[in-house]
Amino acid sequence: MNPSPSRPTVLFVCVHNAGRSQMGAAFLTHLGRGRVEVRSAGSAPADTVNPAVVAAMGEVGIDIS
């Protein structure tokens, strides 16, 4: 990661990067409107995002599919 001097960088981490970290990153990306460099990661990453998380985020108007 090479942070920009004009924008802070935030990393969201959970075990599988399939739920909590994806939601946190999506919310901050949406609310930050380009003012924050947002990343997400997992210590044992899954192949896909949890479908329940995709559906929940869709309910609030954020597409993470």
- Each residue of 11-57: pLDDT tens digit? 999 999 999 999 999 999 999 999 999 999 999 999 999 999 999 99
Q: Residue 1: pLDDT above 80?
A: no
Domain spanning 9-59: CATH 3.40.50.2300: yes
Q: Is 61 exposed, middle or buried (0-12, 13-18, 19+ CB in 10 A)?
A: exposed
Q: Residue 59: pLDDT above 70?
A: yes
pLDDT of residue 62: 97
pLDDT of residue 6: 84
Helix (H) or strand (E) holding 37: strand 37-42
Domain ranges of the chain: 9-59
